[in-house]
Structure formats: structure tokens, C-alpha cells
């Protein structure tokens, strides 16, 4: 059976070049970079280079890069590390559409007595910056706002947000897990103080992430232990994965343009094709400010989980809501925050592409999806009611 993997916001396949670069670090090059002997020296050089490659991709300096175990750890470290640095301040600002790595932590902190403001979004998933301005207070310790949404691909105006936040002297963190490797970022020109990224979203393996911390940002370590990462994150460095992430960032630096153009072309062809072929289909999220690889569509009056299963039987891997929340039949918190109507939110499917997708993949999806929706609508009581009501008009 043909496999068409269009769930790259959930995770990506490890690039063959990344895998090759990592291999020697599991046997021959197994030293601890902190060791004084030559086995330590052998891996030190490669980890230094990997740090430079990660820094290059986001326009940072290598000593602003802290390796972590995943995007979730980076988000937790940024938020908890800042709160610890400003113990007198008890207010956090974030948004209603964050990934659970931020959202669930904020809810947890709220239970512990912090005041949390969750900014709302409009029907297109956009923020109201006046709401942000109004929310900032003397007590605000941190603003944490995602760069790009994992479900809709909507990209927030991070530099405009940063201007507002920094003008009030408040630390600014962004969860850029979905943005890094897909759109160009340059921390040299940015207002961001801290940025999270995750290896497995850009063709490195799962289990490696980064927290970028701008020089001079007040930060307390989240994992307290050894002197690794200049005392900002204890734990022996995961050298094979660090080298793998370095390679993935190097590759991403080389194909960002391709990501923006070829993938965007494929995504648009897919979106246009499905809208043309399937009536009562909506696009979720701002179509202008969006990641080039993502489209979230709602096929009204059908159940997203059923679409996913039928697609999976045909070798197509997509997602309804985010991978972390699928399995529950509740519409995702992102679509609910956007006010997507019930009949549409339930039938939402996210297609997220990568450099490995081809035009044949898109043609295959365009061929397979319409009959699936037709079949499901034929047995949907909601669709029958809708058709009956429309014919009476």
C-alpha cells in the first residue's frame, strides 16, 4: 500500500543524513564530552559544531543555545526558570491556543496560586494586541506566546508582540516548536528573550530540544545538577542526538527556501483541490499568516476520527486536532477558542507537509478524500438534516 505521510506537525521522519551523522556516536564515539581523556575530546568538537549549526538556523550565538530533551522541557524550563528568577511577580500571560506543553503548565500554576491571563483569538485564530496591552501589569513576570500554531499553522506577529512586551520590561518567551525549520527566524533582530524548539519537528529524532536564552536574560535552571550547558541544564549531554539535531538544522538552513516555495505550492494545491471537490468545507485559521506546510480543513457534518481511520486504511496519515489530543472526541481547544461551529470543529482534519512530500502524494489525497466524505455524509444524520433544511429554503 502506498504511504502518504502528511502529519509532519505531529512528528517528522529522521532525515537519512541525520541518521548517518548520529551513528558513530552510539559505538566508537561514545565518550562523555566532559571527560579529560581523548574519548571526551573526540565528541566535544562535534557537539560544539552542532551547537553552532543550531545557532546558525535561528540567528543566535552558540552560547545562547541550551540543549534539552524535548520541546515540552524547553517550554517548562523557560516558564518555571523565569518564575523562579522573579519570585515577587505572580502573573503570567499566554494564549488559549498554546500547545499543552504551555497550556497545561499554566493551568497547573494557576492552581498553585499564580494569576494567569489566557489571551483569546478571533475566528481566524488571530490575537488582539490591545487585549495583550491591557493584560500587562506590574505583577507580570513573563509573557509566553507561541510562534506558530500546531493545529492551524497560524503564525502570530511575534515581533509586534515582543515590542509591546519589551517596552514594559517583561521577559518574552515563544514556543517556536512549529516554526523553526519552516520559516526564517533571526534572533539577532528579534525581541524574543527565550525560544523553544524540538528536534523531531524538523527531521531530527524525538528526545532532543533546545531552549534559546538571549544573553543577559535572567534564568534559573529547571534541571538542577551538573555544570553542563553552562549550569543552565544539568545532565550528561545526549551527544548522538545533539549531533543529529545539528545536522537537521544544517539541512533546514539549506532548504528553508524550498520549504517556503515548493511545500507551499503543494499545500495550496491540496487546499484548493479539496475546497473545489467537496462542498461545505471550511479552512480553519488565517490563510495569509500561516506556516507554508499546514492546512486545517473542516468537512462539515462528519466526524474527523472516522475520516482519519478511512484515510489510514488507504495509507494516508493525517491528524484531527493535534496528535497529543487526538483520541478524545472533544473538538480541540484551539478550534473551540476560535469559535469554529460544532458541526465543523468535529470534522476537522490537519494536513501538514514536509520536504519529503511530492505532487503525486497530493494527487493521491485529492483522489481519496472526496469519496470518503461523501460516504460519511451519506450516513450522517446531521448532514441529512442540513440537506433537508437547505432544500426547504
Residues that bind ligand PLP (CB under 6 A): 70-72, 75, 99, 101, 146, 150, 175, 177-178, 198, 200, 209, 324
* 69 in Cβ contact with 238 (< 8 Å): yes
Q: What is the 3-state secondary structure (H, E, C) of 162-174?
A: HHHHHHCCCCEEE
Cβ atoms within 10 A of the Cβ of 308, count? 19
Query: Judged by CB, which is closer to ligand PLP: 71, or 162?
Result: 71
| Catalytically annotated residue among 106, 264, 317, 324 | 324
Torsion of CA 280, 286, 289, 291, to 10 degrees: -50
Query: Judged by CB, which is closer to ligand PLP: 240, or 278?
Result: 240
* Shortest spacing between CB 96 and ligand PLP, in angstroms: 14
Query: Judged by CB, which is closer to ligand PLP: 177, or 302?
Result: 177
Measured CA to CA, the distance from residue 293 to residue 308 in angstroms comes to 19
Query: Judged by CB, which is closer to ligand PLP: 243, or 334?
Result: 334
* Shortest spacing between CB 70 and ligand PLP, in angstroms: 3
Which 8-state DSSP code applies to residue 116? E
The DSSP result for 47-60, as a single string, is HHHHHHHHHHHTT-
* 201 in Cβ contact with 99 (< 8 Å): no
Measured CA to CA, the distance from residue 264 to residue 182 in angstroms comes to 10
Cβ atoms within 10 A of the Cβ of 99, count? 23
Please indicate whether residue 249 is annotated as part of the active site.
Answer: no
Measured CA to CA, the distance from residue 309 to residue 307 in angstroms comes to 6
Query: Judged by CB, which is closer to ligand PLP: 9, or 298?
Result: 9
* Shortest spacing between CB 164 and ligand PLP, in angstroms: 21
* Shortest spacing between CB 176 and ligand PLP, in angstroms: 8
Q: Helix 359-378 and helix 304-313: axis angle, to 10°?
A: 130
* Shortest spacing between CB 204 and ligand PLP, in angstroms: 10
Catalytic residues: 324
Amino acid at each position: 500500500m502506498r504511504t502518504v505521510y502528511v502529519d509532519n506537525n505531529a512528528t517528522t521522519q529522521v532525515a537519512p543524513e541525520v541518521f548517518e551523522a548520529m551513528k558513530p556516536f552510539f559505538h566508537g564515539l561514545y565518550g562523555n564530552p566532559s571527560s579529560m581523556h581523548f574519548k571526551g575530546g573526540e565528541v566535544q568538537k562535534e557537539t560544539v559544531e552542532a551547537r553552532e549549526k543550531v545557532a546558525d538556523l535561528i540567528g543566535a550565538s552558540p552560547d545562547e543555545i541550551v540543549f534539552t530533551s524535548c520541546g515540552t522541557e524547553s517550554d517548562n524550563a523557560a516558564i518555571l526558570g523565569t518564575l523562579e528568577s522573579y519570585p515577587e511577580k505572580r502573573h503570567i500571560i499566554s494564549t488559549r491556543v498554546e500547545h499543552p506543553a504551555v497550556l497545561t503548565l499554566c493551568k497547573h500554576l494557576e492552581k498553585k496560586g499564580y494569576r494567569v491571563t489566557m489571551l483569546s483569538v478571533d475566528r481566524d485564530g488571530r490575537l488582539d494586541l490591545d487585549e495583550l496591552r491591557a493584560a500587562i501589569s506590574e505583577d507580570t513576570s513573563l509573557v509566553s506566546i507561541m510562534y506558530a500554531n500546531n493545529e492551524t499553522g497560524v503564525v502570530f506577529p511575534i515581533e509586534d508582540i515582543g515590542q509591546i512586551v519589551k517596552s514594559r520590561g517583561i521577559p518574552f518567551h515563544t514556543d517556536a516548536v512549529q516554526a523553526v525549520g519552516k520559516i526564517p527566524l533571526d534572533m539577532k533582530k528579534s525581541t524574543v528573550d527565550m525560544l523553544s524548539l524540538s528536534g523531531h519537528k524538523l527531521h531530527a529524532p524525538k528526545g532532543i530540544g533546545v531552549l534559546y536564552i538571549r544573553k543577559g536574560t535572567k534564568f534559573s535552571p529547571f534541571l538542577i545538577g551538573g555544570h553542563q550547558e553552562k549550569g543552565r541544564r544539568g545532565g550528561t549531554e545526549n551527544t548522538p542526538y545533539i549531533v543529529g539535531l545539528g545536522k537537521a538544522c544544517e539541512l533546514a538552513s539549506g532548504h528553508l527556501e524550498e520549504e517556503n516555495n515548493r511545500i507551499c505550492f503543494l499545500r495550496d494545491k491540496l487546499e484548493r483541490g479539496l475546497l473545489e471537490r467537496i462542498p461545505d468545507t471550511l479552512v480553519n485559521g488565517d490563510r495569509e499568516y500561516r506556516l507554508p506546510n499546514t492546512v486545517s480543513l473542516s468537512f462539515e457534518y462528519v466526524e474527523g476520527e472516522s475520516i482519519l481511520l478511512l484515510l489510514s486504511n488507504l495509507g494516508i496519515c493525517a491528524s484531527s486536532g493535534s496528535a497529543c489530543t487526538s483520541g478524545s472526541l472533544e473538538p480541540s481547544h484551539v478550534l473551540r477558542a476560535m469559535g469554529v461551529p460544532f458541526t465543523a470543529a468535529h470534522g476537522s482534519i490537519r494536513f501538514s507537509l514536509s520536504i519529503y512530500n511530492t505532487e503525486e502524494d497530493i494527487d493521491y489525497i485529492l483522489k481519496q478524500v472526496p469519496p470518503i466524505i461523501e460516504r460519511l455524509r451519506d450516513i450522517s444524520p446531521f448532514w441529512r438534516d442540513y440537506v433537508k433544511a437547505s432544500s426547504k429554503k
